[in-house]
Amino acid sequence: MNMRQSLTAVIERNTTLTGEFTTEPYEAAWAGEARWFVRVLDAAGRRPRLVARTQISPDGLHWCDLDETDQSISPADGPVHSWPATGFGGWLRLRGTVVDEAADPAPDESARLKVLIYLALKA
């Protein structure tokens, strides 16, 4: 019986996200399974929400969406959010946007989220 290899990488640590963003890429070609974890540490704005999509790359330079699935993350739904990524190539990253879902967001207070983003990989 062989023990499966696993690794959890911290992709973003105590990072404040505003507007559009992409995370640092991570090479994951050896892994058969991947799972994202986003932990919300702090939030600003009336109703901030992070909308993210997993992206893949053959070389870590040129990117496309893994699929058409957006992950919607609201601090009101709890501090930790997770979803799997399957059928990926050599590299993974997240592309997303932080928005304020308030009907009339205050012009002087933009939505922002301070987060930890982990990528858990398993062979």
Residue 111's domain is classified under what CATH number? 2.60.120
Indicate whether 67 belongs to any domain: yes
Q: What is the pLDDT of residues 4-42, one digit of tens each?
A: 899 999 999 999 999 999 999 999 999 999 999 999 999
Does the pLDDT of residue 72 top 90, yes or no? yes
Q: What is the pLDDT of residues 53-71, one digit of tens each?
A: 999 999 999 999 999 999 9
Q: How confident is the model at residue 123 (pLDDT cuts 50, 70, 90)?
A: very high
Q: What is the pLDDT of residues 104-118, one digit of tens each?
A: 655 556 899 999 999
Indicate whether 11 belongs to any domain: yes
Range of the domain at 71: 6-122
Q: How confident is the model at residue 1 (pLDDT cuts 50, 70, 90)?
A: confident
Cα–Cα dist 45/4, whole Å:
42
pLDDT score, position 61:
96
DSSP 105: -
Cα–Cα dist 55/96, whole Å:
10
What predicted TM-score, i.e. pTM, was given to this entire model?
0.91
Indicate whether 48 belongs to any domain: yes
> Helix, strand, or coil here: 123?
coil
Indicate whether 98 belongs to any domain: yes
Indicate whether 45 belongs to any domain: yes
Note whether 54 and 72 are within 8 A (CB).
no
Indicate whether 75 belongs to any domain: yes
Indicate whether 1 belongs to any domain: no
pLDDT score, position 107:
58
pLDDT score, position 23:
99
Query: How many structural domains does the chain have?
Result: 1
Q: Where are the alpha helices (DSSP H) in 6-122?
A: none
Cα–Cα dist 117/120, whole Å:
10
